[in-house]
Every structure is written in C-alpha cells, then in structure tokens.
Amino acid sequence: MRYPLLSALAASAAVAAPAASSYDYIVVGSGPGGGPLAADLARAGYSTLLIEAGGDEGENPTYADIANFNEAANDETTRWDFWVKHSDDPARELKFQHTTWDTGDGTFYVGLDPPEGAKLLGIQYPRAAVLGGCAMHNAGVCSMPADDDWNIIVNKTGDASWSAKNMRKYWKRIERNQYLPAGDEAHGYDGWLATSVADNSWAKNDSLPGTKILKRMAELTGQDPAEAANLVNRDINEAGDSVDETTSFYNMVTHADTKGKRSSPNNYIRATLADPAKYPLTVQLHTLVTRVLFDNATLKAGSTPRAIGVEVMEGASLYKADPKHVAGTKGPVSQILATREVIVAGGAFNSPQILKLSGIGPAAELTKFNIPVVKDLPGVGENLADNYEGSLLGLGAAPIESGLITMLFRTPSAPTKKRNIYTWCGAFSFEGFWPGFPAYHGPTQYTCALVHMSPKSQAGSVRLVSADPQDKPDVNFRFYERRGAEDLRELVEGANLLREAWQAAGDPVLPFEELHPCPGAKGGEKCADDAQAEYFKTQAYSHHATSTCAIGGDDEPLAVLDSKFRVRGVEGLRVVDASAFPVVPGAFPSCPTMMLSAKAAEDILADAKKASKCK
C-alpha cells in the first residue's frame, strides 16, 4: 500500500520528485544494530533498503585487518569527527590535555597552548561512516555485559524476553566461535560473526617482566599465582550464575577470525548481497537521511502518526562531521517509501538527531528550531551514557617483555559484588582520542587501560544546533555529574592496585617512571588519591556512547522506546542500535549491540507475521 509522500514536515527542505521504488523496510545506518538487522529482514524474504552515509571499505586492508584499528579510526576515508564536551564548565573543559583546535591552515593543534587565532573544536569522538559502522574501525573487543544489564530491561518493561538467559540465544545465533571446541553451550559455531583470541603462551615464561606483573596482579586480586598462565586463557564470554562477581584473568576476545581478519556487519551484509538465493536486500551508499516521513492523514489531531518513509540527500561527505566535507555542498533530495516500517540505526548521536529533525523529541527544543512537533518525547537525546576510561601509563627503565594481560575485577568501594573494572595491560599506549592518536612514548612504554563499568552518572545529552540535517548536534556527556565522587574513587582504587603490581616487574625494568595519573612518580610512589581523582575527572575519555533513545517502561517520562524497539506514540518506526540500551551494556557495547540487533529482527518478523494473519 502506498501512502501520501509529503507530510506536514516539509518545512524548508527542498523536495525532489519521489523515488519510484518502495520497500517493505528501510533501515537507516549499517553499524552493529542496523547492518545485521537489514540482512536478517532480507533473508526472511522482505524487501529491505539499507541506507549508509559512507562507502564500502570491506576489502581495504586498513579496515579488513583488525591489527590496523588505530589507522582505521584515524582514516579520513570514513571518519566522522564529533567534537564533544565532558561538562558544562568551560574552564574544566580546557584542562583536557588532548583538547583539539583548528589552526586555520588545514591542520589540528592538540594540547593546552594553542597558537594565536586557533579555533576551539573540543574533545574528539570519532565515529565511522562506512558500511559496517563503528565495528569497522574499533579494536574489535567482544565482551558480554553483566546479566543485570539485560535484566534491567525486564524490570523496566516487564518483557521477560530481555532476560540475560534468553539474550544468550542471540549470541549463539550470530557467533562463529573459533577459539573453543564445538559443543560449548554458551557459544555459537555457525553464525556470521567470527570470534577469536590471542596466543597467551608467553605467560608460561616466568622470567618475563610481564609474567611477574601478572603473578603479582593475581596475588592482589585473590587469584592463585601458580595458575596465572592458565587463567589468562579463561573464556571471557563464559556463562554462569556467578560470572559477574568473579575476579579473574581472561583471554580478550575480538570479533575477528584466526587469520586476523575483521569480522563485522560488513561481512554479513556483503554475504547476503552475494548469496545465490538473491535475497531482496538493497544497499544505498553515500546517502544522508535528513528526516523520517509521516502519512499526512495520521498527523491530524487524535490520530497516531505513522512513518511511511525517509527523505534523503545523496552524495559523499555531506555531513559536517566528515573532515572531507566542503562548506555549502548539498546533494539532490528525494524520498523513499517503506510499506511496513522505518528503522533508525544511526547510533547514539545520529539516531536522536534524526528523530528530532523528524519532529519526535522534546517539544521545546523542536519548536526552538521551527520543527513541527509530531510527538513530544522528552527523552530523545537525553540519558546519554558512557563508560569512563583512563589509563595508568609509565616508562620502564628497559622494554617490558609481555603479552596482553586482560582482567576483570572489583575494587573495594564498588557498590555491589559485581566487577566494576575491565583492564588490559601491555607494552602499548592508549590515552583516548585526538587527531593522530595514539602517542608513542618510546620502546619502554607500558599501560594498563581501565574501563569503569556501570558508571553512576547518566546525565549527558545530544541536542540540535539547528534544523539543518548536515549540522552536527551538540554532544555533552556531563561526566561525573551524578555520584561522581563514587565513580572516581573506584577508578583510583583500580589504578592503585595496578601500580602496586607493576613493582613486581624486577630488573632491568624497574623503576617505572609514571606519566599519569601520577606524573613523575618513580618506583611505585603513590600520589594522593585526591590528585589521582582530579586527573581522572579532567582526563577521562570514552567511546561507548549509549542510551539516547532508551527503552523504558510506560511510567518513565524519558522512555523513548518500548521493549520491542518501537518509538512511543508513533507507528511504523523503531530504533535499533546502542542508543536503545537503558545503560551501557558492560565494558564494550559492540557485540551486545549485535545481539540486540538479532533480537530486534525476531521481534519485527514476529510483528510482520501477525500483521499478515490479520489481513
């Protein structure tokens, strides 16, 4: 069935002739949420259009080889630069050591002493405009969230299908495990997403400085040092009733195959397109979705608005987050119909922006930019959440021979028995994101990176700066605004434990000279906890944004979606990406978002089946 093309939202957008084609489903965004979903819908026999603002770099070694993840995240071919804030305090913002400035001569300045005339940009938060989304430029870390991160949705909505036990079936459905013998009931072996681990045989060499640090970490966390070489191969994605309360070493899992090739939604999309079954999937690249269209008849008072398609602008580098964007460049505008549903999967920044440009969001914000209100939903763009990340970084007196040490542990002041720190330690440097990251501090650099899980503050926002769909929104995480002192104390406790473990490295590595959070400290000198807390407050970074279109209960004023991903108060419109999570799911959201996508496919197809029976 066709619907009238133009809604009351025509506003100031130039409208071209409508597209001749229509689809059962339109999916906006090809990342961990949208990409697999589009493939699943097409494989179920429904004509599906997948729209991606970027291109396809699936065969480019920068993206295809997981070891090149730093180059991928820096690559202008796909990079979208969001310049975010961590607080509402301008003075505090200018303490961030990797604050970035536009020098005006085509280069960036990173630091606290910019050249005269430089324009403040802010804190870089790179996203990926490419087929496969941010799963194409990340480090590929694949880790299950705590059971409570799933069960919170059950508690909010009453929908038991979100229970942690049930969600594990989606992991088994998509995983192609390549590191465990077939038959482990916690894993899948026939899915589209390859998972693998590193060789941790280095841990059997007791003479290595890294092994000495490993064994001391075991002592400090109640593990058996004699078993450390075995524990480093423990499955980080194991299942069990007490897993979330277990402090242990693990082998880091990545969504890559055993040959080091990245496994991502890009592979699944391309396999679906190439399949001899000729599934009805269409991929439209270099296309910016400007808004969702609604049926005019349903916009009348008393009716429930129904989404019927999208308006798009075609062309490369149209969005102003793209460093290749040329000011004033626009593309032809057209409209595409969806006879069943529109599914927005643009991520935690772009999904709320698209909803707001379409008239769905806080009424006062929409009215400010003369956007006609389709549905007043105060939670759109609110609740922005992220894990806090920081690192303990130092220089040894000699290079530190070591593999990667991965550990999940609980600090003493954690509010529950659950683990709250995910750390990985090795001879690398990682201090956040800025143009050209990471910094290389020489052959003796050693880092323990920390991800603080279950942060207590969730006060961030994604808000419009205009009604222009090419403009980037204003993104402010408001780190530590709520119960921040508690989160900072946990980070400091984690750093103190790891610093103590470093002192076991022995000769010729000792003494370590710490670069942060206690600059200049040597030999394990412990600087004051309040000084470390101030460091983490001003220098924490993140790249796991979620929750700006959160699933919630009927009684929650800021709930945007119901438990089936449906946007509240409208029909034919869902959001399926990390913005749907009520809280950040564990330490790394990429694989949980792919699980969420598989669940969404099941929910959407179940609704389609019901609708067909009613006809």
In order, the DSSP letters of 447-487 are EEEEEE-S-S---BEEE-S-S-TTSPPEEE--TTTTTHHHH
* Helix (H) or strand (E) run with residue 212 in it: helix 209-220
Is 482:458 a contact under the CB 8 Å cutoff?
A: yes
Report which DSSP code applies to 54: S
Q: At what angle do helices 147-157 and 164-174 cross, to 10 degrees?
A: 120
Q: What is the 3-state secondary structure (H, E, C) of 377-440?
A: CCCCCCCEECCEEEEEEEECCCCCCCCCEEEEECCCCCCCCCCCEEEEEECCCCCCCCCCCCCC
- 549, 578 contact by CB (below 8 A): no
Nearest 5°: the CA angle 316, 294, 352 is 55
Of residues 559, 519, 569, the one with CA closest to residue 539: 519
- Token representation of residue 190: 């026939």
Q: For residue 138, say whether it is annotated as part of any ligand binding site.
A: yes
Residue 175: count of CB within 10 angstroms of its CB: 26
- 253 marked ligand binding residue: no
List beta partners, residue 567. Answer: 561
Nearest residue to 163 (alpha-carbon basis) of 173, 153, 171, 172: 153
Helices (H) and strands (E) in the chain, counts: 14, 24
> Of how many residues is the chain composed?
615
Instruction: Please state, as a whole number, how many other Cβ atoms lie within 10 Å of the Cβ of residue 130.
Output: 30
Residue 141 marked as a ligand binder: yes
| CA-based end-to-end distance of the chain | 12
The answer to whether 130 is annotated as binding is: yes
CB atoms closer than 10 angstroms to residue 272: 24
Who's near 13: CB < 8 A, 6+ residues apart? 290, 291, 311, 333
To the question of whether residue 140 is assigned a binding role by annotation, the answer is yes
Query: Token pair 């080091």 is at which residue?
Result: 260
Query: Quick one: which H or E segment has residue 176?
Result: strand 175-177
- By the 10 Å C-beta count (0-12 exposed, 13-18 middle, 19+ buried), 497 is classed as buried
Tokens 């406790």 sit on residue = 493
Question: Per the annotation, where are the binding residues?
Answer: 130, 138-141, 289
Question: Per the annotation, where are the binding residues for FAD?
Answer: 130, 138-141, 289
